[in-house]
Structure 1
Amino acid sequence: MKVSFDATGEVVVITGGAQGIGAALAAAVNAAGGTAVVFDVVKPADAAVEYVEVDVADRSSLQAGVSAVVDRYGRIDGLVAGAAVQPRSPVLEMDPAEWTRTLQVNLDGVVWTCQSVVLHMVARRSGSVVVFTSGMAVTGYAGAAAYASSKAALIAFAKTLAAEVVQHRVRVNVVAPGVIDTEQFRTANAGADREHWHDTIGIGDPEDVVGPLLFLLSDAAAMTGSVLTRERAFAKLTRFAE
């Protein structure tokens, strides 16, 4: 069975979309006839993708970016909040600045992005938001306390936001994409850590997550406040392939 998505006329904002999953999604949105607008601190390699320089940890920068998109297009149909950092250090050795910066980007950045974008969606009574969590939100992971904590908090935040805006026909869902081979993953998981993920749940490609994201952004996803995870399914597929 083949599935295709039509995004003609729709505008999707993707934070952290200069690389990895966000970049793959931006290309797919454009290919489906929509307009992907990437919010990031670095410019995407794909010149066809519209880019707005935004630091999600800076609320005023976010608000300016959202205003620029709304002024240009008059709408934002979808939001994928993917900007994140993933430092590694043991809890007992963690620099307070590292903890603060991780929460500012991974948690506060999502909160302020949603606040700015969803206000416009509520006014139009239409929109879909997707937030990223991680399996570490449930299991934890040695050396990744700040990252895991931020991702756990995002589940509660997204479910709460979903309950608050459902009457306005705005949907908010969460994706746990599994372990994906991105630059951020490779930086945070070198050597033995990479082997651990390969031998347990497997390592996927950014394009593997695009289908679920397009589904959640589409009208076909009559769901909100849900957490979609692909970790176990992907582990079975990769092991079967081996």
Structure 2
Amino acid sequence: MKAGFDATGEVLLVTGGASGIGAAAARAYAAAGGTAVVLDTAAPPARPPLPDRGGVEHHRVDVADRDAVFACVADVLGRHGRIDGLIAGAAVQPRGDVVAMDPGEWRRTLAVNLDGVVWACQAVLPSMIGRRSGAILVFSSGLAHAGRAQASAYAASKGALISFTRSLAAEVAAHRVRVNIVFPGVIDTPQFRRANPEGGEREHWARTTGIGTPDDVAGPLMFLLSDAATMTGSQLSRDRALVKE
């Protein structure tokens, strides 16, 4: 059975969408006829024109800056009149031992990975509630459950997002706004490559969970954004169990 999606006339906000899973989702949404609005501190990579009916906009925004997020969302609503979906994907993944962790790095990780999700949700929810329609997707990680040495800040932020997302889903369900959490699994993104240099750990993931591509995640995200996905407060996982050597 082949799946197809039609986002004509609709608008998706993607935080952290200049590369990786967010960029793949933005391209898929544009290919379905929608407008994907990317918020990221990085400039988008050079790409050939998309053979799509929609488009992708890029805005240089730090999601840890609440005022900047709200200003960007207000601009998008002013120009497009609607935001139908939010993929809150911006994240950082520092590596290091807890005993040597820099306080600024800890706070920056939570500011981007956790606060950035909260600010984006706060910014888009009034319009979604007013229209009684919307879908919000948040990313967690298998490390939220399993933990991993030298990944404490990242794992902590992703664990907090599970509780936040399920609580938010309960709050806005009566307004017909759906909030779900996605466990993408191990995906070959620039962030993954920075956190897992060539060698031991990357080989471990390849042998155990397998390493997917950003495009592998785009289809499940499109489904959860669509009106075919009636669930809320759910967890969709592409993560296989973490296998220890």
In the superposition, the TM-score normalised over structure 1's length comes to: 0.94
Q: Per the alignment, in what secondary structure is the counterpart of residue 73 of structure 2?
A: helix
Give, in whole Å, the separation in 2 of the partners of 1:140 and 1:232: 15
Quote the offset at 1:44 in angstroms. Answer: 1.5
Give, in whole Å, the separation in 2 of the partners of 1:61 and 1:174: 24
Question: Is 1:41 paired with 2:41?
Answer: yes
Aligned residue for 1:160? 167
Map 1:135-214 to 2 at 5 A.
135-190=142-197, 191-214=199-222
Give, in whole Å, the separation in 2 of the partners of 1:152 and 1:189: 20
Question: Is 1:218 paired with 2:226?
Answer: yes
Give, in whole Å, the separation in 2 of the partners of 1:193 and 1:58: 33
Question: Is 1:130 paired with 2:130?
Answer: no
In the superposition, the TM-score normalised over structure 2's length comes to: 0.93
Q: After TM superposition, what 4+ stretches of structure 1 lie above 6 angstroms from structure 2?
A: none
Q: Per the alignment, in what secondary structure is the counterpart of residue 63 of structure 2?
A: coil
Structure 2 unaligned spans of 5+: 50-54
Aligned residue for 1:8? 8
The Cα offsets for residues 143-170 of structure 1, whole Å up to 9 and x where unpaired, read as: 0000000000000000000000000000
Map 1:15-34 to 2 at 5 A.
15-34=15-34
Q: Per the alignment, in what secondary structure is the counterpart of residue 229 of structure 2?
A: coil
The Cα offsets for residues 65-86 of structure 1, whole Å up to 9 and x where unpaired, read as: 1001000000000000000000
Q: What CA RMSD, in Å, does the superposition of the two structures yield over aligned residues?
A: 1.2
Give, in whole Å, the separation in 2 of the partners of 1:94 and 1:167: 42
Aligned residue for 1:102? 109
Structure 1 unaligned spans of 5+: 236-242
Give, in whole Å, the separation in 2 of the partners of 1:209 and 1:189: 20
Quote the offset at 1:199 in angstroms. Answer: 1.2
Count of aligned positions: 234
Percent identical among aligned pairs is 65
Q: Per the alignment, in what secondary structure is the counterpart of residue 184 of structure 1?
A: helix
Question: Is 1:73 paired with 2:80?
Answer: yes
Aligned residue for 1:239? none
1:90 to 97, 111, 114: 97
Quote the offset at 1:35 in angstroms. Answer: 0.4
Give, in whole Å, the separation in 2 of the partners of 1:70 and 1:163: 25
Higher helix share: 1
